Amino acid sequence: MLISLAFFALAALLAPVLARVLGPRVFWLLALVPLGALAVSVSAAPRVFEGEIVRESLIWVQHLELALSFRLDTLSWVMTIVVLGVGALVLVYCERYFAPDEPGLGRFAGFFIAFSGTMYGLVVSDDIFLLFMFWEATTVFSYLLIAHYTDRKASRGAALQALLVTTGGGLTMFVGLIVLAAAAESTSLSEIVASPPEGGAVMTAVFLILVGAVSKSALVPFHFWLPAAMAAPTPVSAYLHAAAMVKAGIYLIAALTPGFANIPGWSESLVALGVVTMLVGGWRSLRQTDIKLLLAYGTVSQLGFLTVIAGFGSRTAALAALALLLAHALFKATLFLVVGLIDHSTGTRDLRRLSGLGRQRPVLAIVATLAVASMVGLPPTFGFVAKEAVFTALLEGDALGILALLGVVTGSVFTVAYSARFLWGAFARKEGVEDTEVHRDRWDALVSPALLAAGGIGLGLVASVADPVLAGYAVAFPAGGHEYHLALWHGLEPALGLSALTLLLGTALFWKRERVARLQAMVPATVNAADGYWKVLRFIDRTAARVTSTTQRGSLPFYLGVILLVLVATAGTSLVLNETWPTSWRLWDFPSQAAVGLIMVIAAVAAVRADKRFTAVVLVGVTGYGLATLFVLQGAPDLAFTQLLVETVTLVAFVLVLRRLPRRIGVAHGRPRHRAVRAALAVVVALTMSIVAVTALAARSTEPIYPEFAELARTLGHGVNVVNVALVDVRAWDTMGELSVIIVAANGVASLVFLDRRTDDLVRPRLTRGRRGLLRQRPITEPSRPIGRSRALAETGEKRLAWLLAGRTLAPENRSILLEITVRLVFHSIMVVSLFVLFSGHNAPGGGFAAGLVAGMALVARYLAGGRYELGAAVTIDAGRLLGSGLVLAVGSAAVPLLFGADALTSAFIEGELPLFGHVEFITSTIFDVGVYLIVIGLVLDVLRSLGGEVDRQQEEEDPRTPHERLEGRADA
C-alpha cells in the first residue's frame, strides 16, 4: 500500500510535465496507477476474504506515535475497489473529456491523480491521525479541482466554500480524534474499534468526529457545498462528489459503527440526520432544471440514505450499507459521466432545452437508463439488491428502525421521481422544444460509463457471490435472529413490497410533476443553509473588523498605555498577594543622595512638560549628570567619568539634530483629560515599580557575588580597576556585544541621514603638494562669498597658514579665530590624553570606552571649530573602516584563544624587562580595549559626519543663500 501511494505521489508530480508532452493522453498513462493499486488490492483479496487484516506500517514521528500504518479489512478493501476502479475509469474518460488545448490541463491531471492517491490512503489508513491527514488532503485537492475554471467567480467561490465547510468539520473531527486517542491510549483505528473506550469524554469525542463525517459527506446542515461544487469539471463531480470523497464520511461512520453503535444517540442522530438529508436532497432535486444539479441533490439525498443505514448498527444493516455504498458509486458515477457527455455534445445541461436526445444518442440513453434502474432499485440491478437489504435491516429493527424505514421509503419515492425526471429531462423529446443539436463524440468516450453501468447490473446478477465478501464487514456486529444474505430474490417479503410501493409512488410523483412543481413553489425555502454560510462568513468578517479596529488603533500612546496597564495590573496583583514585606526601611546611604535624586526627578518631570526641544534635551541631560553624581557618591569614579562623557556626547548629538527640528514640541498631545489619564498612569507605574523594587531588594537572603570581584580582578585579571577588568575581561563577552550595538547605532544614524550608502566620503579640503597655497586663510573681515567648495578655495590666494586646515571654508561670521587656535593647540594633547586613559585604564579610572569618548570630544572640538571640512581633515579614514577594525580587534581577541584550546576571550598576562622601559606588564585584554577605543571613536565620527557634516550640507543645498545672507536675513526678520 505504501508503494502504491508512492506511485501516486510520483505520478502527481510528473503529470504536469507529461501533460505538456502527451496532452489529454496523459490520462491513459495516469489510469495505470490506480489500476496498479487495484491489482494490489485484488491480489490481497483472498486473504481479506478469509477475514485476515492485511497490515503495513512505517514509523514516521515516533514521539507522537505517528506511523504510516495501513490495513486492509473488508470495509477498506471494498472502498479501495470503488476508489481505484472508479478512479481509473474516470481517468480514461478524462482523455475524451478534455480538449488538447484545455488550459491548466497538467495542473488538473496532477491534482486529480493526487486526489486519487489521498483518497486511497484515506481508506487504507489505520492510524487515525494518518487518516485525518488524508482526509484533509482530499479537501485541499477538492478545493483545487473545483476551481479548475479559475476564471469563473462561481467556481472559485464554490471551491472556497467547500474548503471552509469541510475543513471546519474536519478540524472539529480532529479535536474528537485527539480526545478519542487520549481515552483509548491508541491511535489505531482497528484497535480502538475493537476495544472501544468508554465515558463521557469518549461520547463527546465521537460526536465531534461525526461532525467531520457529516460535513464531508454533505449531510444537512452542511449539504449546500456539494451542489455548489458542481462548478467543477464533470470528471471531478463524478469522482470526488459522487463516488469517492463524499463517501469518506460514510466510510468513517461505517468504520466506527461496530465500536460505537451502542453509544447513546449514535444511531438516533445518524438516522435523523440521514433521513432529513435524504428528504431535503430529494425534494430539492425535483426542483432542479440543470441535470447536473439534479444529480448533485440526488447525491445529497443518497448520502443521507447511506448515513441512515451505515449508522444503524446491526449485522444486516452493515451488509446493506456496504452494498448500497457500492451500488451508489457505480450508478452515480455513470450518471455524472453521462451528463458530462451530454454537456459536451449539446453545450447545455438545462432539461428545458434538451429534447430528443434519446433518439440521437441511443447508446448513451441505454447506459443512463441502466444506471437509473440501479438508482431507483429495479431488479436485477445491484441497487435493487441493496435497497431490499436496507428495507429488511430496518424492518428487523426496533421503533427507530420503523421511523427510519418511514423516512427512507419516502426518500426513495423522491428518488424514483427525480430519477425519472432525470431520464425524461435528458433524453425525452419534449413538446414545443426543438430537438437539440448534437455533435457526436467518439464511441470510446462511452467506455467508462458503460462499464460502470454494466457493473451495477452485473453485481446485481451475482449478488449471492458478493454476499460473502461484504459479509466480512458485517460480522463485526452481533448476529441477529436470522442471517440475511444479499440476493436478487428473497421471496415475497415485505421489503419487496416496499420496493414496489416506492416505485409506484415515485412514478406517480413524476407523472404529476407539474402539480408537484406548483406545490414546491408554494413552500417557501425558509431555511437556506447556503445563506447561513454567507451569514457566518459575514459575521466573522464583521467581528474581525470590529475587534481589530478596537485593538489595532495605530496609536503609540494607546499601545504603551496598554503595556503599562498590564504591568500595573500584573505586578500590582503580585504585590497584593505578597506577604514578604521589608522589615526595615533605609532611605539613603547619604542624605545627599536624596537631594540628587530629587533634582533628577524634577528634571525628568520638567523634561516631559517642556515645550521647547532644547529645554527638554538639557533637562534630560540633567538626569544623566545626576546619575553620574550618584556614581561619584557611591565611590565609582570610573562609572561617573564614563557617564559624564556619554552625557556630553549625547548632548552634542542632540544639539546637532535639533538644528533640523522645529523649536517647539508641537502643541500639547491630546486633550487635557488624556493628559490627566497619562499622568495618573505614570504615577501609578512609578509607584508600582518602586514598591516592587523595595520589596525585591529587601528579600535578599544570600550573599551577592560582587564582593569577590575586586579580589578576582587583582589576582586573576591583573588590574586594580575592577570596572575595567569586568568590562574587558570578566564580562568582556557582554562588552563585545555592546560594541556591536555601538556599531549598529552608528550605522543607523548614517542610514537615516545618508539614506543611500554609508561610504559617502567625508569631504576634505584638497591637500596636494602643488596647491598648498590654496589653504591659505582669508582675513575674516572679508565680506562673505559663497565659499565652502574647493572651487571657492581656489579663488582665494591667501598668504598666512591656517590654524585649522578647513577653517577658511567657513563663512567669516561663523568663525571664531580664538576657537580655532585653541582647538589647534589642544587637539593633539587631548588625543595623547585619550591614549593614556586607554592604557592606564586597567589600573586607574579610564579604559577604552572612556578613552574613545575623550578622543571623540577632540573630534567634536575640531568639527565645531572648523566645520565638516575640518572633520574630514582630522580623520582621513572612513568611519566604517574604523568601526570594522575595532570590531576585528575585539572579536579577534575572543576568537584567538580558541585556537589555543582556551575559552573564548581568555586573556594572557605577559611581563618582562624591556630595555629603556624597565619592567613591563601587558595583559592581552588590552587589545580588546583598543578595539573598544576605535569603535567609540568611530561612533563619534559617524555621528559628527552624518548629523553634523551631512546635515550642514543638506541645509546648504536646501537654502541656496550663503551663510552670510542667511545671517543677514535672520537679522532683518
Partner 1 sequence: MTALVPLVVILPLLGAAGALIAGRHTRLQRLVTVAALVAVLAVSVALLIEVDRQGALVMTVGGWEPPFGISLVVDRLSALMLIISAIVLLAVLVFSVGQGMADGDDETPVSIYHPTYMVLAAGVFNAFIAGDLFNLYVGFEILLVASYVLITLGGTGARIRAGVTYIIVSLVSSVLFLAAIALIYGALGTVNIAHISLRMQDLPSDIQLILHVMLLIAFGIKAAVFPLSFWLPDSYPTAPAPVTAVFAGLLTKVGVYAIIRTETILFADSDINEALMVVSLLTMVVGILGAVAQADIKRLLSFTLVSHIGYMIFGIAMGTVAGVGATIFYIVHHITVQTTLFLAAGLVERQGGSTSINRLGGLLRSAPVIAVLFFIPALNLGGIPPFSGFIGKLALFRAGAETPDVLIWVVIAGGTLTSLLTLYALARVWNMAFWRQESEVETYQSSLLDQLSEAPGPAQQQESRNSPALMTWSTAGMVAVTVSLTIFAGPLYGVSARAGENLGNPRTYTSLVFPNVVDESQIDVSEGSGQP
Identify residues 888-927 at the interface with partner 1 (CB under 8 A): 888, 891-892, 894-895, 898, 901-907
- 444 Cβ partners below 8 Å, 6+ apart? 96
Find the shortest distance in angstroms from Cβ 951 to partner 1: 14
* CA-to-CA separations, 851 to 286, 824, 840, 930, in angstroms, rounded: 93, 20, 10, 9
Bridge partners for 56 per DSSP: 70
Buried residues in 276-290 as b, exposed as e (16+ CB within 10 A): bbbbbbbbbbbbbeb
Q: Which stretch binds partner 1 (CB under 8 A): 20-28, 170-178, 608-616, 658-666?
A: 170-178
955 binds partner 1 (CB under 8 A): no
Say how far apart CA 727 and CA 928 lie, in whole Å: 10
559 binds partner 1 (CB under 8 A): yes
Find the shortest distance in angstroms from Cβ 163 to partner 1: 6
Question: Contacts with partner 1 in 756-795 (CB under 8 A)?
Answer: 756-759
Question: Contacts with partner 1 in 327-386 (CB under 8 A)?
Answer: none
Find the shortest distance in angstroms from Cβ 199 to partner 1: 11
DSSP character for 922? E
178 binds partner 1 (CB under 8 A): yes
137 binds partner 1 (CB under 8 A): yes
Find the shortest distance in angstroms from Cβ 722 to partner 1: 12
* CA-to-CA separations, 912 to 510, 725, 842, 908, 920, in angstroms, rounded: 115, 21, 18, 13, 5
Strand duo 909-914 + 918-923: pairing = antiparallel
Buried residues in 591-623 as b, exposed as e (16+ CB within 10 A): eeeeebeeebeebeebbeebeebebbbbbbbbb
Q: Output 217 or 907, the one with its CB closest to partner 1.
A: 907
Are the beta carbons of 463 and 488 closer than 8 angstroms? yes
126 binds partner 1 (CB under 8 A): no
Q: Output 190 or 924, the one with its CB closest to partner 1.
A: 924
601 binds partner 1 (CB under 8 A): no
580 binds partner 1 (CB under 8 A): yes
- Nearest one of 286, 281, 299 to 335, comparing CA atoms: 299
Of the candidate residues 527, 562, 679, 832, the single one contacting partner 1 (CB under 8 A): 562
DSSP character string of 669-712: SS-HHHHHHHHHHHHHHHHHHHHHHHHHHHT--S--STHHHHHH
Of the candidate residues 14, 133, 677, 684, the single one contacting partner 1 (CB under 8 A): 133
Find the shortest distance in angstroms from Cβ 933 to partner 1: 15
Q: Output 450 or 743, the one with its CB closest to partner 1.
A: 743
| Type of residue numbered 590 | F
Find the shortest distance in angstroms from Cβ 779 to partner 1: 40
127 binds partner 1 (CB under 8 A): no
Q: Output 781 or 876, the one with its CB closest to partner 1.
A: 876
| Set of cell numbers at residue 590 | 547619604
159 binds partner 1 (CB under 8 A): yes
Q: Which stretch binds partner 1 (CB under 8 A): 146-154, 283-291, 584-592, 953-961?
A: 146-154
How many chain residues touch partner 1 (CB under 8 A)? 135
Say how far apart CA 307 and CA 317 lie, in whole Å: 11
- 46 Cβ partners below 8 Å, 6+ apart? none
Find the shortest distance in angstroms from Cβ 888 to partner 1: 5
For residues 671 to 690, the per-residue mask of contacts with partner 1, x marking binding by CB under 8 A and - elsewhere, is ------------------x-
Question: Contacts with partner 1 in 488-527 (CB under 8 A)?
Answer: none
Read off φ and ψ for residue 72, nearest 5 degrees: -125, 105
751 binds partner 1 (CB under 8 A): yes
Question: Contacts with partner 1 in 532-551 (CB under 8 A)?
Answer: 534, 537-538, 540-545, 547-549, 551
Find the shortest distance in angstroms from Cβ 438 to partner 1: 32
Say how far apart CA 72 and CA 51 lie, in whole Å: 10
Of the candidate residues 45, 53, 171, 780, the single one contacting partner 1 (CB under 8 A): 171
Q: Output 330 or 722, the one with its CB closest to partner 1.
A: 722
Length of the chain: 973
Q: Output 184 or 261, the one with its CB closest to partner 1.
A: 184
Find the shortest distance in angstroms from Cβ 448 to partner 1: 29
Q: Determine whether 58 is exposed, middle or buried from the number of CB atoms within 10 Å of its CB (0-12, 13-18, 19+).
A: exposed
Find the shortest distance in angstroms from Cβ 487 to partner 1: 42
Q: Output 398 or 579, the one with its CB closest to partner 1.
A: 579
Q: Output 330 or 727, the one with its CB closest to partner 1.
A: 727
Of the candidate residues 475, 567, 607, 819, the single one contacting partner 1 (CB under 8 A): 567
191 binds partner 1 (CB under 8 A): no
Say how far apart CA 52 and CA 54 lie, in whole Å: 6
Question: Contacts with partner 1 in 47-76 (CB under 8 A)?
Answer: 59-64, 66
Q: Output 899 or 916, the one with its CB closest to partner 1.
A: 899
Find the shortest distance in angstroms from Cβ 695 to partner 1: 6
- Nearest one of 311, 183, 332 to 249, comparing CA atoms: 311
Find the shortest distance in angstroms from Cβ 185 to partner 1: 11
150 binds partner 1 (CB under 8 A): yes
Are the beta carbons of 70 and 57 closer than 8 angstroms? yes
160 binds partner 1 (CB under 8 A): yes
552 binds partner 1 (CB under 8 A): yes
Question: Contacts with partner 1 in 685-744 (CB under 8 A)?
Answer: 689, 692-693, 695-697, 699-706, 708-709, 711-712, 715-716, 729-734, 736-738, 740-741, 743-744
Say how far apart CA 50 and CA 27 lie, in whole Å: 35
- 639 Cβ partners below 8 Å, 6+ apart? 628, 631, 723
| Set of cell numbers at residue 913 | 624587562
Find the shortest distance in angstroms from Cβ 712 to partner 1: 5
Question: Contacts with partner 1 in 451-480 (CB under 8 A)?
Answer: none
Are the beta carbons of 123 and 200 closer than 8 angstroms? no
Are the beta carbons of 358 and 365 closer than 8 angstroms? yes
Find the shortest distance in angstroms from Cβ 656 to partner 1: 17
Are the beta carbons of 280 and 271 closer than 8 angstroms? no
- Nearest one of 804, 733, 801 to 765, comparing CA atoms: 804
Find the shortest distance in angstroms from Cβ 707 to partner 1: 8
Say how far apart CA 323 and CA 605 lie, in whole Å: 84
Are the beta carbons of 83 and 123 closer than 8 angstroms? yes
Q: Give the helix ranges, DSSP H, for 50-152.
A: 74-97, 105-124, 128-146
Find the shortest distance in angstroms from Cβ 813 to partner 1: 32
Place of cell 568663525: 815
Question: Contacts with partner 1 in 851-890 (CB under 8 A)?
Answer: 878, 880-881, 883-885, 887-888
